[in-house]
Amino acid sequence: MPLIRVEMFQGRTDDQKKAMAARVTDAFLETCGGTPESVTVIIEEKEARHWAVGGKLLSEK
């Protein structure tokens, strides 16, 4: 049973998250096979103040 974890910033709508989960599931099935019911997608939303790139918090940019 594949588990796909997606970490992203807060602020997307439920419709956007639903569409993303469907597309990620479809991509997995196209490349690896299986059934939609076997694919789990976990969405973890993060605040920009908890994410840094190049040593700088993204909330500072």
Asked if residue 1 lies in contact with residue 36, where contact means CB atoms within 8 angstroms, the answer is: no
Asked if residue 22 lies in contact with residue 57, where contact means CB atoms within 8 angstroms, the answer is: no
Catalytic residue among 2, 6, 18, 22: 2
Clarify whether 36 is annotated catalytic: no
Catalytic positions are 2
